[in-house]
Chain A
């Protein structure tokens, strides 16, 4: 969710965040989050970026062709590695599943619906992991992959403020969303966030974007209180 908020903040577009239990069903593609503008509903980062571009706002106009290719490649890397690792950790690591994911996912629903829906989602995610070959990976291997990905991102960022020099782009929003979530979500073990904390320029990057785009924006959602407790983790 954070990558979308970050992206829209970077475009200077005002947004209101609303949490709903049936969000997955309201979305046209079944994926949260999505934006609702006038009488149009758009979901997923790619279409949202295009939608915003069509309305005249774009973050990557200043890039040349080769840089645009690089940006797309890095976005795929983040999706491929970080997103899959997050899914793996949430749904395939038994300890995390039992203690955190099942209760959180099923919380809006009464028993037994909460258990059924979360088992269904788990089965779906495990099927997908098997198809792409991640089912055979152990937790250590997944963490190693995350480390490699963070290393690559850290190398690419270097000492610049954003990935493509002075202006933030979609890539910055995406990376911020994932890294911030990893750094601030409470899990059984802290190994994942430790991996990210090893790269000081990445943590500085997250802090910078958080300060620039999120501070001072009040949102009417229950995650405000949660976020303030999470923020202390980042410090």
Chain B
């Protein structure tokens, strides 16, 4: 349990800690179960992403798919499903299968295959996060893989053209969103009040659709008509990721904590200083007024500047 664990994944934008559904699922699960992960986002360094992300590295073990990563975390006793009954565990598996079969093709399509979305948003975003010259090749490869996957799993006859396949997968995705909305109902998470694996997976798939600004957004518009799912995503983002406006999550949280510590130290120092001044004041009354005002102003000035540095 004490072994440090490092997660490499794609970074985030538009208010999300990550744009990649699988990376987002793993990050959400880690937050829910309290696992101490150091998150490294890929950002234009020479440590190029080889193979699939997200990747968890713990001592010498390297694990790459989300399901395997979650299994590993559970074995390390970071289990978010502790309170679930056996039937609820079975339901989890079933709903995850539903997400992968019905929602994932449309998600892949929106990100990687839809020409306008891909050229104006996805490709430049990913290319800016990958080092040259891999950035010329990798987004294209990811796009081809996505199209391949959609066509091989959904594109058999009687759907003969890409437009028919597209129509079918979006229909399936909208039906899936409706089913999830019915299942969630009015509760905060899918199984009561604590989030579980299923919540991590649903969040990982829904949040990119919900937040990323694409030119062609039929799935996002459909999602916005299901207010309980939108509320679900927003709740997780505010409670577990505590994002500031700029959207840098774990780093933001750490700097906020560090700033808070510094501020506390500063305030303590100032209050000690004020006490000393107070004592001097009692001993030398004629010099008091001038010193007191300048000291007060100085103390007030120093105190207010770290506060203004913190406010968003």
Enumerate chain A interface residues (CB-CB to B < 8 A): 28-31, 65-66, 68-70, 72-74, 76-77, 79-81, 127-128, 131-133, 148-149, 151-153, 155-156, 158
User: Is residue B87 within 8 Å, beta carbon to beta carbon, of the partner chain?
Assistant: yes
State whether A66 touches B90 (Cβ < 8 A): no
- Closest-CB distance, A109 to chain B (whole angstroms): 21
Residues of A within 8 A of B148 (CB): 131
State whether B90 touches A151 (Cβ < 8 A): yes
Residues of B within 8 A of A68 (CB): 179
Residues of B within 8 A of A73 (CB): 91, 94-95, 97-98, 179
Identity of the chain B residue whose Cβ is nearest the Cβ of A129 in the assembled complex: B152
State whether A29 touches B90 (Cβ < 8 A): no
- Closest-CB distance, A155 to chain B (whole angstroms): 4
Chain B interface residue bracket vs A: 20 to 34
| Those 3 A-B pairs whose CB atoms lie nearest each other, nearest first | A152-B90, A77-B97, A73-B94
Residues of B within 8 A of A149 (CB): 93
Residues of B within 8 A of A31 (CB): 156
State whether B91 touches A156 (Cβ < 8 A): yes
In B210-248, the 8 Å CB interface with A consists of none
State whether A132 touches B87 (Cβ < 8 A): no
Q: List 14 A-B contacts (CB under 8 A).
A: A29-B157, A65-B182, A66-B183, A69-B182, A72-B98, A76-B97, A76-B101, A77-B97, A80-B97, A131-B149, A131-B153, A132-B153, A155-B87, A156-B94
The proximity string for B residues 135-172 relative to A, scoring 1 for CB distances below 8 Å and 0 otherwise, is 00000000001001100110011100000000000000
A69-B179, A79-B101, A80-B100 given; A148·B93 CB < 8 A: yes
A153 to B152, CA, bound (A): 27
The 8 Å CB contact of A152, one of B89, B102, B149, is B89
A152-B90, A155-B90, A156-B90 given; A30·B156 CB < 8 A: yes
Among B94, B158, B180, B183, the most chain A Cβ lie within 10 Å of the Cβ of B94
